[in-house]
């Protein structure tokens, strides 16, 4: 087994996966606005990615899709009547709102929360803070159900915090702006929080989704040692180029830290962080991608660094990348080179085109947790996959998901019924009981 403390929980892509183009600053999302999606292919592609990780001997879990359409949100905004009447009225009065409450964006589990392993915290307890996702409305309706799932997954071994209250409209984007560097997963590590701006400053035209103050609040409530906690500011140029989350321009796994030359705003502060890590992390291996080798535009369009980097049982690392990287010769040259001078020896490509068209690569789809053996034994097994459960999920998706979904289909009452039927059967398959609002009414 390759298990060394790491578990990945991927977001199971929901039956309402569509291209509504709701995420401002996400170039892929905007590019494919109002195109027809394939929810069935999207979900099956996501399961195939999970299978690749399982094949490496690393435990693989999942987050369930959120209840979509989210009628609770619509009723809270004053829309009354039967479920069918609510959908009909919103479709006529505010089609943009309907798109928001149908969004399947919870599939990108990297935004679910920030995770700190027990080895890093003063109280030797796992700490998890669900992201408030306040910057985008369609995502701001996710935290309640995310926290409930985290309680079910980790409640017996972790402190699950409430989302941090937003400050001046700024949000928390979770693990997509969080890195951990350590000699080995189960040894104390340095946690790097990447933020876009102070909550009390604004840059015209730049949508910085993570506030410095919120990153500091998460670090404090996770009881992290200030000497082992680092903060870096995103480069506005990177954000403007489509790196709305930091996990598009940098990634880390154990002692390896990869980043683009233009990922961070302050070069002096970056050098200080690198020097500190070199002094305190055994075998620290920073890898900088120069703009002259791969431009920021190529990095963002390929999603080269929005990949999963995992450690195998022989201490070599495997990099799981989107197939789109193969369309960029400069990225392929770089991949060939790193195999000769880094622990990264295996390169694997995965087809997640449906997610990529909405601006989410392999790293976006997963939430990474680090637990020791005792903690692992207490993780809720209902959320962990095995070959049979994987096959059962494939069958359930093939049974209920549409193979094409256009923006106009969101007005179809039948889509709501199909979505709820799938979610109901999913909770039965996983033996989770009634966890959705529609199941309790």
Q: Does 139 show up as a binding residue in the annotation?
A: yes
Q: Does 21 show up as a binding residue in the annotation?
A: yes
| Residues with catalytic function | 173, 245, 364
Q: Does 24 show up as a binding residue in the annotation?
A: yes
Q: Does 359 show up as a binding residue in the annotation?
A: no
Contacts of 231 (CB under 8 A, 6+ apart): 192, 193, 194, 195, 212, 215, 216
* Alpha-carbon span 440 to 437, nearest angstrom: 5
Contact 153, 435 (CB under 8 A): no
Q: Does 241 show up as a binding residue in the annotation?
A: no
Q: Does 189 show up as a binding residue in the annotation?
A: no
Q: Does 27 show up as a binding residue in the annotation?
A: yes
Q: Does 22 show up as a binding residue in the annotation?
A: yes
Q: Does 138 show up as a binding residue in the annotation?
A: yes
Q: Does 302 show up as a binding residue in the annotation?
A: no
Contact 115, 126 (CB under 8 A): yes
Q: Does 111 show up as a binding residue in the annotation?
A: yes
Q: Does 180 show up as a binding residue in the annotation?
A: no
Binding-site annotation: residue ranges: 20-29, 111, 138-139, 209, 247, 358
Binding-site annotation: residue ranges for substrate: 20-29, 111, 138-139, 209, 247, 358
């Amino acid at each position: 087994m390759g298990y060394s403390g790491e578990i990945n929980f991927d977001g199971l892509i929901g039956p309402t996966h569509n291209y509504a183009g709701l995420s401002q600053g996400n170039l892929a999302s905007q590019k494919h606005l109002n195109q027809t999606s394939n929810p069935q292919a999207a979900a099956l592609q996501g399961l195939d990615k999970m299978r690749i990780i399982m094949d490496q001997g690393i435990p693989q879990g999942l987050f369930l899709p959120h209840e979509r359409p989210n009628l609770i949100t619509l009723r809270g905004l004053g829309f009354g009547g039967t479920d069918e009447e609510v959908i009909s009225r919103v479709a006529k009065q505010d089609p943009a709102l309907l798109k928001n409450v149908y969004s399947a964006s919870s599939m990108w589990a990297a935004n679910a929360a920030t995770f700190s392993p027990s080895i890093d915290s003063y109280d030797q307890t796992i700490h998890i803070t669900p992201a408030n996702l306040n910057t985008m409305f369609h995502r701001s309706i996710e935290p309640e159900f995310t926290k409930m799932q985290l309680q079910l997954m980790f409640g017996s071994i972790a402190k699950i915090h409430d989302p941090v209250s937003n400050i001046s409209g700024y949000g928390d984007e979770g693990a997509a702006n969080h890195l951990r560097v350590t000699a080995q997963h189960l040894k104390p590590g340095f946690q790097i929080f990447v933020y876009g701006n102070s909550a009390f400053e604004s840059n015209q035209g730049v949508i910085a989704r993570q506030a410095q103050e919120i990153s500091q609040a998460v670090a404090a409530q996770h009881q992290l040692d200030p000497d082992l906690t680092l903060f870096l500011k995103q480069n506005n140029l990177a954000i403007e180029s489509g790196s709305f989350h930091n996990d598009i321009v940098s990634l880390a796994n154990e002692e390896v830290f990869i980043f683009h030359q233009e990922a961070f705003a302050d070069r002096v502060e970056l050098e200080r962080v690198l020097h500190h890590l070199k002094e305190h992390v055994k075998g620290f291996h920073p890898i900088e991608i120069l703009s002259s080798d791969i431009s920021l535009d190529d990095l963002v369009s390929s999603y080269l660094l929005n990949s999963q980097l995992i450690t195998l049982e022989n201490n070599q690392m495997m990099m799981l990348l989107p197939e789109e990287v193969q369309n960029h010769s400069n990225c392929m040259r770089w991949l060939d080179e790193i195999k000769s001078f880094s622990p990264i020896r295996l390169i694997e490509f995965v087809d997640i085109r449906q997610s990529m068209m909405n601006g989410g690569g392999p790293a976006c789809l997963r939430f990474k947790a680090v637990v020791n053996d005792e903690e692992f034994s207490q993780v809720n097994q209902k959320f962990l996959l095995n070959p049979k459960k994987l096959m059962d999920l494939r069958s359930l998706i093939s049974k209920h998901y549409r193979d094409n979904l256009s923006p106009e289909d969101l007005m179809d009452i039948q889509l709501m019924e199909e979505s709820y039927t799938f979610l109901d059967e999913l909770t039965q398959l996983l033996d989770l009981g009634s966890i959705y609002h529609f199941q309790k009414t």
